[in-house]
DNA sequence: GCCCAGGGATGCG
DNA sequence: CGCATCCATGGG
C-alpha cells in the first residue's frame, strides 16, 4: 500500500488496508454519499471527492493534510489486524472488515452527531444531521458545512425538534448552550479520565456516547463503546443473555486493551452488516 | 400495529 | 450503587 500526497489529492496504490465503503459504512461517520465507485465525504466545512478501483484510491480535496489525518493514513493497520486476528472471537470479523480504518473526525462535530445517535437508527441520524447542515450551516456552493458552535447556539429547542431530534432536542439545546470553543480545545489535550468525566457531564452524553466521542473525535483507541449490536455480539459469543452494558464494556476493554476501539469496529461492522443485508438495505 | 434503532435521564429502593 | 421506566419517531 503506497500513499502519495499531492497538492490537491492523495493517491493510494494497492490499498490492501483501506476499503472506502467499509470505512464509511461502519457507523463512525454520517456525512457522506456514495455513487458507484465514488464517494463524497464531509467534515466540518471540508469536503473530499473519492474515486477508486481495485488497485487505486484517489482522494481529491483542498484539504490534503486534513483528510490524510482524517483517514488515519499514517497508521499501519496490517499490524493491528495481525494481532486481533489471533483472537478467536474476532478473526472472522477482522477478515470481513479488513479495509476498515478508524476516522479521526472533528471533536465538536462528533459530540453533536453522537448525541443525536442515542437510541436512534443510522438513516434517521443522517437525516437529522443533514437537516442541521442545510438549515444552519454555511452554504459552500456544492454542499453545506456542519454548523459551527456559534451557529448552533442560535438554534432553539423547537428548531431542533424540526430537525427530527425528538426528545434529544432539549438535551442538544442544553449542551450547545453550555459548550464553548475553549471546552473543546481543552478536551483534546486532557487526560483520558478527564475527557471521560467532562463528556459525561454533557446532557445527552452517557457512557456509550462518551466512548464514541473519544474513539472517533479524540483519537482515544483503548475504549469500547457498547451499543445494542455489541450487546448482541457479546451475548452471542459468550452464550449469555445480559443487558448489563457496564459489565460488557469492562470485560471487552480488559480483553482487547489498547486495541479495544479497533476490535469494537470490526465487531460492529461484521454483525450489523450481515444482519442488515439479510433484511435488505 | 409492533419492534427496533450505535441510549440517556430520572426516580426509587 | 443497581434497576425500571420513560422518552420521539421513522424504518422494517
Residue A154 in domain: yes
- CB-facing half-sphere around the CA of A35: CA atoms within 13 A: 5
Residues A183, A83: contact at Cβ < 8 Å? no
Residue A222 in domain: no
Whole-number distance in Å between A273 CA and B13 C1': 41
Instruction: Indicate yes or no: strand B within 7 A of the C-beta of A223.
Output: no
Determine the 3-state secondary structure of A56 from DSSP.
Answer: strand
Instruction: Indicate yes or no: strand B within 7 A of the C-beta of A25.
Output: no
Record the pTM: 0.97
CA distance A78 to A85: 10
Residue A139: give the domain boundaries: 107-217
| Residues A161 and A236 reside in one and the same domain | no
Residue A35 in domain: yes
Count, residues in chain A = 281
- Residue nearest B4 (alpha carbon to C1'): A121
Q: pLDDT tens track of chain A, all 281 residues?
A: 999 999 999 999 999 999 999 999 999 999 999 999 999 999 999 999 999 999 999 999 999 999 999 999 999 999 999 999 999 999 999 999 999 999 999 999 999 999 999 999 999 999 999 999 999 999 999 999 999 999 999 999 999 999 999 999 999 999 999 999 999 999 999 999 999 999 999 999 999 999 999 999 999 999 999 999 999 999 999 999 999 999 999 999 999 999 999 999 999 999 999 876 554 33
CATH number of the domain encompassing residue A142: 1.10.340.30
The pLDDT value recorded for residue A276 is 62
Q: Cell 438554534 appears where?
A: A155
The pLDDT value recorded for residue A105 is 98
3-state secondary structure A92-112: HHHHHCCCCCCCCCCHHHHHH
The pLDDT value recorded for residue A280 is 36
| Residues A43 and A117 reside in one and the same domain | no
Say how many domains are in chain A. 3
The pLDDT value recorded for residue A279 is 43
The pLDDT value recorded for residue A228 is 95
| Residues A184 and A111 reside in one and the same domain | yes
Per the structure block, which three cell numbers stand in for A254? 480488559
| Residues A45 and A23 reside in one and the same domain | yes
Residue A12 in domain: yes
| Residues A16 and A58 reside in one and the same domain | yes
| Residues A191-198: contacts with CB under 8 Å, at least 24 apart | A192/A220, A192/A222, A195/A220
Nearest-5° Cα angle at A6, A2 to A7: 165
The pLDDT value recorded for residue A277 is 53
Instruction: Indicate yes or no: strand B within 7 A of the C-beta of A265.
Output: yes
Show Cβ contacts of residue A182 under 8 Å, excluding neighbours closer than 6 positions. none
Residue A96 in domain: no
Show Cβ contacts of residue A179 under 8 Å, excluding neighbours closer than 6 positions. A108, A111, A149, A202
Residues A78, A179: contact at Cβ < 8 Å? no
Amino acid at each position: 500500500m503506497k500513499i502519495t500526497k499531492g497538492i490537491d489529492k492523495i493517491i493510494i496504490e494497492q490499498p490492501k488496508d483501506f476499503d472506502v465503503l467499509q470505512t464509511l459504512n461502519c457507523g463512525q461517520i454520517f456525512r457522506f454519499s456514495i455513487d458507484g465507485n465514488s464517494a463524497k465525504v464531509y467534515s466540518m466545512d471540508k469536503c473530499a471527492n473519492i474515486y477508486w478501483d481495485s488497485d487505486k484510491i484517489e482522494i481529491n480535496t483542498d484539504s490534503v493534510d486534513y483528510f490524510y489525518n482524517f483517514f488515519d493514513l499514517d497508521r499501519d493497520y496490517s499490524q493491528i489486524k495481525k494481532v486481533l486476528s489471533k483472537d478467536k472471537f474476532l478473526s472472522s470479523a477482522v477478515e470481513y472488515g479488513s479495509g476498515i480504518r478508524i476516522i479521526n473526525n472533528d471533536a465538536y462535530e462528533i459530540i453533536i452527531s453522537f448525541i443525536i445517535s442515542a437510541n436512534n437508527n443510522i438513516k434517521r441520524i443522517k437525516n437529522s444531521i443533514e437537516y442541521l447542515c442545510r438549515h444552519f450551516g454555511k452554504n459552500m456552493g456544492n454542499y453545506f458545512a456542519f454548523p459551527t458552535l456559534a451557529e448552533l447556539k442560535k438554534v432553539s429547542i423547537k428548531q431542533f425538534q424540526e430537525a427530527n431530534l425528538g426528545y434529544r432536542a432539549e438535551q442538544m439545546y442544553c449542551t450547545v448552550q453550555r459548550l464553548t470553543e475553549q471546552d473543546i480545545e481543552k478536551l483534546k489535550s486532557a487526560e483520558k479520565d478527564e475527557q471521560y468525566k467532562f463528556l459525561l457531564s454533557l446532557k445527552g452524553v452517557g457512557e456509550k456516547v462518551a466512548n464514541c466521542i473519544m474513539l472517533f473525535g479524540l483519537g482515544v483507541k483503548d475504549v469500547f463503546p457498547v451499543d445494542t449490536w455489541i450487546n448482541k455480539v457479546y451475548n452471542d459469543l459468550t452464550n449469555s443473555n445480559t443487558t448489563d452494558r457496564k459489565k460488557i464494556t469492562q470485560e471487552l476493554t480488559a480483553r482487547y486493551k489498547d486495541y479495544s476501539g479497533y476490535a469494537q469496529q470490526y465487531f460492529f461492522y461484521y454483525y450489523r452488516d450481515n444482519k442488515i443485508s439479510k433484511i435488505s438495505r
